[in-house]
Amino acid sequence: MNILIINGPNLNLLGKREKSVYGENSFESYLDFLRNRYTGHQLIYFQSNIEGELINTLHQYGFGDVDGIILNAGAYTHTSIAISDAIRAINVPVVEVHISNIHARESYRHISMIASACKGSIIGFGLESYRLAIESFIDSKE
């Protein structure tokens, strides 16, 4: 199974920013853990702070090049109709993930503009949210 993981703005700073919210680990170190755990699957990773690059990557992979997409759109989750439209335009399922529980944070983070376009959402389990999303794709293929 081929799974694309897309991280949006500021997620390149994991392990450096707001450690009380996002933890001590960089995403790259967690990605190594995931790749070692899921050796029978290809995990492709893309990160950008630029909304259009996230959309272009959804378009690039969203027509069968991968079996599933895990998307942490960061703050664009709460603002981007364009990302929601891109998810609706492709035919590969997308699972929305968030490291923190967005519903336990500032009120402007409680609304996801992308959730209704996604297969599902995994929120608040730290970096394990990504592992749970991978498991959801694997379980759906069995």
- Catalytic residue from among 22, 30, 61, 76: 22
Of the candidates 30, 61, 98, 130, the residue annotated as catalytic is 98
The β-bridge relationship of strands 94-98 and 2-7 is unpaired
Per the annotation, the verdict on 22 as an active-site residue is yes
Q: Catalytic: 98? A: yes
In which residue are the tokens 């990773």 written?
A: 45
Beta strand 94-98 with 120-123 is: parallel
Catalogue the active-site residues.
Answer: 22, 98
